[in-house]
Amino acid sequence: MPTQKLYAGAKLRETRSRLGLTQKAFAAKLGVSLPYLNQMENNHRPVSAAVVLALAGEFGLDVTELSAGDAERLVSDMREALADPIFADTAPPLADLRLAASNAPMLARAFLGLHRAYRQSHERLASLDEALGRDETATRASPWEEVRDFFHYCDNYIDAVDRAAERFADTAEARRAPEARARTLLAERGIEVVLSDSAEIRLVTDGRLTLSTRAAPETRRFQLLFQLALATQNELLEATLDLARFQSDAARSIAKIGLANYFAGAALLPYRAFLEAAEETRHDLERLADRFGASIEQVAHRLSTLQRPGQKGIPFFFVRVDQAGTITKRHSATRLQFARFGGACPLWNVHRAFETPGRFLRQLAETPDGVRYLCLARDVSKHGGSFHAPVRRYAIGLGCEISHAKGLVYADDLDLTNARAFEPIGISCRICERKDCHQRSVPPLERKLRVDPDRRGLLPYDIE
């Protein structure tokens, strides 16, 4: 199979801009001519192996950063936006979307922002929202979506916050007794930690942090570290928020909670120690949860964030869905990207996890682009801690491309070479091009339909 050529013009321009170099100076350091660099930066030529080596040797660049992860996300998001019926007769071909994502990523993001504004205005009109056309926030992304996109395009890895959490976890006191160390640091700032049989998982009032005994120990531990982030890392969190330039105070507030959550997860599962343990246990989630005193969901989510330049783990995707199939958390460091709207593909094993509580389900799957994955799924329902408390039911999915599967204990005894063992899955029906899917809900984008009233197969139409 021929090696895929690497086009990374936008990344080259970004690197040169960050270094403050002119094209001439950058070309000289890379050992190429000015016209050649110009062609690479404009994606008229692929990045050569010699340039990749020069970037690593001259600037210490992690060459995996040149991969098309951001471009793949943008293409997936644009395809989903273009599945909107408003584009029914004007949707551009996939090749054009890839060119836009690679050559003009800011323009692609602007398009996504414009479609998001249209979608929200349309929904407001449908619900007779009187604020339509008079409320300036109608043209903005919802705060929740804005924050979700921030983490999405940061590859779900926030270096400064991750390293700060690791520095805390790496102190002698924290290695010996992390909860005691966190309590001490909070006490130094006038915050007493107490336990109570309370319905509130975490509550701060009058200098007292109350944690509920109804919550699982790993949840209390996480909430303790969350509060530690707010108390000891406020300056770092605010600086990170300043760089993000959120459009509203609500988005900024939500993002601050997200960053504090990120610190808590990274302190509970510190980067280098966790990466080493993951490799040692071959990513056995139960052993990792037991070793670090964390939940299965916390471990799975952390595995998807191990994207530190120069020290990356296996690229995973991570998703959490509710019983209705709605995606409540999503991230992918792989080529698999999730739908921004709606639920996950019904053929994916994550939906079956609710039927087998407490068990891991394994699935070999293949997406329409021919990429194959090892997928894990498990329910992570959250009990309320009392008879009358509601149970929040979720399932998580975790997976990697099949080339990394042998690094996972879950690949044992699976025939990774048997093409028939891989189940066909998709992303979203509107952007899935499979013609014979028995679970299809709507026709795919960029495909003509043929309707024959005298014939009925799996679907009431044929896809050409």
Question: What ranges in 281-421 are assigned the alpha helix state H?
Answer: 285-292, 296-303
- pLDDT-based confidence at residue 256 (cuts at 50, 70, 90): very high
Token pair of 112, please? 């996504």
Task: Indicate whether this model's pTM tops 0.75.
Answer: no
Q: Which amino acid is at 342?
A: G
Token pair of 303, please? 């595995």
Token pair of 133, please? 């056309």
- pLDDT-based confidence at residue 368 (cuts at 50, 70, 90): confident
* C-alpha dist (Å) from residue 281 to 267, 299, 311, 378: 20, 13, 18, 19
Token pair of 179, please? 């909860």
pLDDT at 46 over 50: yes
Q: What is the DSSP letter of 402?
A: G
What does the pLDDT read at residue 275?
A: 97
Token pair of 256, please? 């601050």
Task: Read off the pLDDT of residues 425-448 as tens digits, 9 standing for 90 and up.
Answer: 887 777 777 777 888 877 776 667
- pLDDT-based confidence at residue 189 (cuts at 50, 70, 90): very high
- For 445-457, what is the mean pLDDT? 76
What does the pLDDT read at residue 52?
A: 82
- For 353-378, what is the mean pLDDT? 93
Rounded Cα–Cα distance for residues 341 and 31 (Å): 45
- pLDDT-based confidence at residue 124 (cuts at 50, 70, 90): low
What does the pLDDT read at residue 139?
A: 46
Rounded Cα–Cα distance for residues 379 and 391 (Å): 12
What does the pLDDT read at residue 281?
A: 98
- For 225-251, what is the mean pLDDT? 93
pLDDT at 67 over 70: no
- pLDDT-based confidence at residue 123 (cuts at 50, 70, 90): low
- For 394-404, what is the mean pLDDT? 95
More confident residue, 406 or 99: 406
Rounded Cα–Cα distance for residues 68 and 335 (Å): 9
Q: Is residue 377 helix, strand or coil?
A: strand
Q: What is the DSSP letter of 43?
A: T
The kind and range of the H/E element at 193 are: strand 192-196
C-beta of residue 182 within 8 angstroms of C-beta of residue 225: yes
- Cα-based torsion angle of the residue sequence 110, 111, 113, 117 in order, rounded to the nearest 10 degrees: 140
Q: Look-up: residue for tokens 């009358």?
A: 388
Q: What are phi and psi of 193, to 5 degrees?
A: -105, 125
CB atoms within 10 A of CB 102: 21
pLDDT at 338 over 80: no
Task: Read off the pLDDT of residues 144-170 as tens digits, 9 standing for 90 and up.
Answer: 888 888 888 787 899 999 999 999 999
What does the pLDDT read at residue 72?
A: 74
Rounded Cα–Cα distance for residues 186 and 193 (Å): 8
* C-alpha distance across the termini of the chain, in Å: 28
C-beta of residue 50 within 8 angstroms of C-beta of residue 143: no
Token pair of 383, please? 């009990």
What does the pLDDT read at residue 47?
A: 81
Rounded Cα–Cα distance for residues 293 and 221 (Å): 9
What does the pLDDT read at residue 134?
A: 44
Rounded Cα–Cα distance for residues 426 and 369 (Å): 9
pLDDT at 324 over 90: no
Burial of 444 (0-12, 13-18, 19+ CB in 10 A): buried
Task: Read off the pLDDT of residues 76-121 as tens digits, 9 standing for 90 and up.
Answer: 788 878 877 677 667 788 788 877 887 777 788 888 888 877 776 6
State the chain's mean pLDDT as an integer: 85
What does the pLDDT read at residue 404?
A: 96
What does the pLDDT read at residue 130?
A: 42
- For 347-369, what is the mean pLDDT? 92
What does the pLDDT read at residue 262?
A: 96
What does the pLDDT read at residue 400?
A: 95
More confident residue, 312 or 74: 312
Rounded Cα–Cα distance for residues 265 and 57 (Å): 33
Question: For residue 401, which of 420, 422, 431 has the smallest C-alpha distance?
Answer: 422
